[in-house]
Structure 1
Amino acid sequence: MAGALSGLKVVDLTNTLMGPYATQMLADMGADVIKVEPPDGDTVRGLGPARHAGMGAIFLQANRGKRSVVLDLKAREGRDALLRIAAGCDLFVYNLRPKVMDRLGLSYDAIKAANPGIVYAGLFGYGQDGPNAARPAYDDLIQGMAAIPSLFSASGSAEPRYVPLAMADRVVGLYGVSAIMAALWHRQRTGEGQRLDIPMFETMAGFVLADHLGGRLFDQAEGATGYPRLLSKDRRPYRTRDGYVCALIYNDRQWRRFFEAIGRPEVWTSDPRFASITSRTRHIDEIYGMVADVMRERTTEECLALLDGADIPVSRMNSVDDLIDDPHLAAKNFFVDIAHPSEGALRMPGVAAQFSKTEGCAARPAPRLGEQSREVLHEAGLGDTQIEAMFAARVTSEPD
């Protein structure tokens, strides 16, 4: 089956993780993504375990399904070639700061002149009409600006720290895809292209405040910020006698069944802390502490049996290695085996969404640096003589 985005042609002038993650999802859905790389390649090529230089594990995941063309955009020939490629594409995605794009001669106006109907999407640190417009941004900085490390302190469970995931990069990449699809739908209806700015800070601020705006939602504050249940110091996997379980006892029925299962039904009927979700939230630290004491007295298997028997959501706590070997994922054929021409057999997460007509898939392995340079330049209308001159001047390159 052809992917839902089959026929969509994308210029991918992104590097590191946020932008490549967004364009990887487009490629997984069938888009033809042309990854434009500088002569030294995407920085992430050198990150993580690798069998060959420039083909690190994270790069292989975030750039699957794409074609790589090398262009030195500081050279006139490189910029002109990119404009010719963009003239035949539907979408132009970048994650350099807009002022850098302006200096390279690749502003929206420049790309629009080559292709008036193109959607020009930038993923970068801050909205361009605010005081932080020119500041660089990375995942750690944006997590800090968006108050994520402070939530650990607010819970009383730890010193401020970053979530041990490239969380801002991933969330903004996901949000970027939804915004891009909205702009493409507008173009489908009207024929109009547009510029699209997708700032990290504003995206993550909304992401955090959706849970923690609290009483400051109202023009006259009706309480403090923060969602107490999420900030409870005991909102964590419950330690058992031999491991951990993850459980969420949430609604009235689940709490009643929990106390019946542990032989203490009177707590549910007589303790006012459990009278409603509002009172439970107000006393959440005490309540989670009570559950922690119950779990600590039992083995993991006993806890799973207890809560499953009461129809309360519960699961084991996986490590990353456990996750890779998870039986549900195995049964769903979640992992995709890809035969890479230079890196050998690879296993990586597949596309989680299931389509009845246009299934997504990892259609091709991640490219070597410049693997499709010659092919892409030919498609853009450059002749053999021009292409050979660009190779000779090191404006472009291809693998040996």
Structure 2
Amino acid sequence: MANPGGPLAGVRVLDAAGMIAAPSACAIMADLGADVIKLEPPHGDLLRGLVTVPDGPDPWWELDNRGKRGIVVDLTTEEGIQVAHKIAASCDVFVTNLTTERQSKFKLRASDLREDHPQLIHLTLTGYGNSGPDRDRLAFDHTAFFSRGGVIDMMGEPGQTPPAGRPGQGDHTTSLAILSSILLALRERDLTGEGQDISVALVHTAIWTMSSDLSVGLATGEVPGPIMRIETPSPLVGRFRCSDDRWIMLTMPADRYWNAFCGAMGRLDWLEDPRFVDPEKRAQHGPELMIMCDDIFGSADSGVWAERLDAAGMVWGLIQNLEEVIDDPQSEALRAFEQVPDAKFPFRTVSPPFALDGSEMSVKGPAPEHGEHTAEILSEAGFTPDEVAQLYEQGVVL
């Protein structure tokens, strides 16, 4: 039987982070039933309004802050710091991407918050980690994940302009590392009764995503590098343009697919061709074979190739644009997009990339307006009505 409210019902999270990666992890925790409090400064999170839709929702803000309650606190004041501490004292998890310097200034370091609340799990997201020469360097996912982590260099072809990473792609990958580490820390706390400090870095997540290539470099001393498409050692792992200008990606690293591939290409003669008799020979003649395949794929449209490749049992995929991803019936089957309940404007957003069939998991509601729940959160933290009124009057909260 599913736990009422979700697997994280009863867990309280203070999200004192900005932009995408850490707030995204907290949004998934809200989907899983956690009570997530979004703490913002008076000027608001930088993500607010970064992408706007006329007469519609704020899609980026909604994606990474759905289901949370919002409070505005001025941490530049001593009273604001005390408010943050009092709220954190009632929480299980504290999440931030404030620099070490600002955490120290606002007394939000793990040592500050866990001194009287050792059960608290304190997570810091950084660009480059909490130690080393670049521990204090500011970062976004484009700089730390895509660039410093080597991702962009391996995605392009040699000598070409490096491709641009897509907004939030590194952040949302990192959010899964944040979520995983918090869940593990909660489990550890179940066993020991103690919270702990967690550090997650954008560049470290990038290194993990590149670990297949990096493991070769670590084992051999020779790091793989980007190659031209035409230099692909086997068409079984190639990408090809069809006559309708659509691209198809093949991924069949096992040699057992070769015979069926030759049949699908209408070139059974390749099976007896001494240039292509085994994987080593095909790699030696890779560019030549790729050019031959280019010509064949260019002779028919992607629909024809879809039928041929499926009939031959090939592993392939059509390279889709995002409009096609939204309309893909498989996206619908996965429930990849979910209607946001109780939203001012009816819209869908992206659901977490996993399904828990035995648990309650859903988008609980829209993202909070700026300071929407300040008064009720303060009341829950133990502030009297007079104290709340005074904090508003002093501009400590909004």
Q: Taking structure 1 as the reference length, what is the TM-score of the superposition?
A: 0.89
Note the alpha carbon deviations across 1:122-148, whole angstroms, 9 max, x for none.
111122220101111111211211122
1:222-301 equivalence runs, <5 A:
223-226=222-225, 237-250=239-252, 251-271=254-274, 273=276, 275-276=278-279, 285-301=287-303
Query: How far did residue 168 of structure 1 move?
Result: 2.2
Q: Where does residue 340 of structure 2 map in the other structure?
A: 338
1:143-154 equivalence runs, <5 A:
143-153=146-156
Does 1:36 find its partner at 2:36?
A: no
- 1:229, 1:284 within 8 Å by CA — same for their partners in 2? no
Specify every segment of 5 or more residues in structure 1 that has no aligned partner in the other structure, as ranges: none
Query: How far did residue 203 of structure 1 move?
Result: 2.4
Specify every segment of 5 or more residues in structure 2 that has no aligned partner in the other structure, as ranges: none
Decide which of 292, 304, 322 is 2:306's aligned counterpart.
304
Note the alpha carbon deviations across 1:2-27, whole angstroms, 9 max, x for none.
21111111010011111111111111
Q: Where does residue 89 of structure 2 map in the other structure?
A: 87
CA distance in 2, matches of 1:119, 1:37: 20
- 2:238, 2:249 within 8 Å by CA — same for their partners in 1? no
- 2:110, 2:197 within 8 Å by CA — same for their partners in 1? yes
CA distance in 2, matches of 1:274, 1:43: 58
The 3-state SS of whatever aligns with 2:125 is strand
Q: Where does residue 364 of structure 1 map in the other structure?
A: 365
Q: Where does residue 196 of structure 1 map in the other structure?
A: 198
CA distance in 1, matches of 2:44, 2:325: 31
Does 1:101 find its partner at 2:103?
A: yes
- 1:86, 1:114 within 8 Å by CA — same for their partners in 2? no
Note the alpha carbon deviations across 1:45-76, whole angstroms, 9 max, x for none.
111123579x6210011100111011111111
Aligned length: 390
Query: How far did residue 319 of structure 1 move?
Result: 1.4
Q: Where does residue 166 of structure 1 map in the other structure?
A: 168
Q: Where does residue 59 of structure 2 map in the other structure?
A: 57
Note the alpha carbon deviations across 1:361-398, whole angstroms, 9 max, x for none.
1012111111111111111111111111111111111x
Query: How far did residue 323 of structure 1 move?
Result: 1.4
- 2:337, 2:351 within 8 Å by CA — same for their partners in 1? yes
- 1:13, 1:93 within 8 Å by CA — same for their partners in 2? yes
CA distance in 1, matches of 2:334, 2:162: 37
Query: How far did residue 283 of structure 1 move?
Result: 5.7
CA distance in 1, matches of 2:365, 2:19: 20
CA distance in 1, matches of 2:215, 2:229: 12
Note the alpha carbon deviations across 1:173-212, whole angstroms, 9 max, x for none.
111111121111111111111111111222212322x132
Does 1:387 find its partner at 2:362?
A: no
- 1:14, 1:20 within 8 Å by CA — same for their partners in 2? yes
CA distance in 1, matches of 2:277, 2:372: 62
Note the alpha carbon deviations across 1:322-346, whole angstroms, 9 max, x for none.
11111222344432222445x3211
- 2:243, 2:300 within 8 Å by CA — same for their partners in 1? yes
- 1:91, 1:119 within 8 Å by CA — same for their partners in 2? yes
- 1:232, 1:285 within 8 Å by CA — same for their partners in 2? yes
Query: How far did residue 249 of structure 1 move?
Result: 4.3
**Aligned partner of 1:308: which letter?**
D
Note the alpha carbon deviations across 1:253-298, whole angstroms, 9 max, x for none.
322101012222231344454624x665666555444433321111
Deviates more, 1:101-110 or 1:316-325: 316-325
With over 3 angstroms needed to count, the CA separation of the structure-2 counterparts of 1:372 and 1:239, relative to structure 1, is same
Task: Give the root-mean-square deviation of aligned CA atoms.
Answer: 2.5
With over 3 angstroms needed to count, the CA separation of the structure-2 counterparts of 1:212 and 1:71, relative to structure 1, is same
CA distance in 2, matches of 1:139, 1:9: 27
With over 3 angstroms needed to count, the CA separation of the structure-2 counterparts of 1:224 and 1:87, relative to structure 1, is closer
**Aligned partner of 1:172: which letter?**
T
- 1:351, 1:360 within 8 Å by CA — same for their partners in 2? no
Q: Where does residue 327 of structure 1 map in the other structure?
A: 329
Q: Where does residue 6 of structure 1 map in the other structure?
A: 9
The 3-state SS of whatever aligns with 1:176 is helix
Q: Where does residue 130 of structure 2 map in the other structure?
A: 128
Note the alpha carbon deviations across 1:98-117, whole angstroms, 9 max, x for none.
22101111111111024111
Deviates more, 1:136-145 or 1:161-170: 161-170
Query: How far did residue 226 of structure 1 move?
Result: 3.6
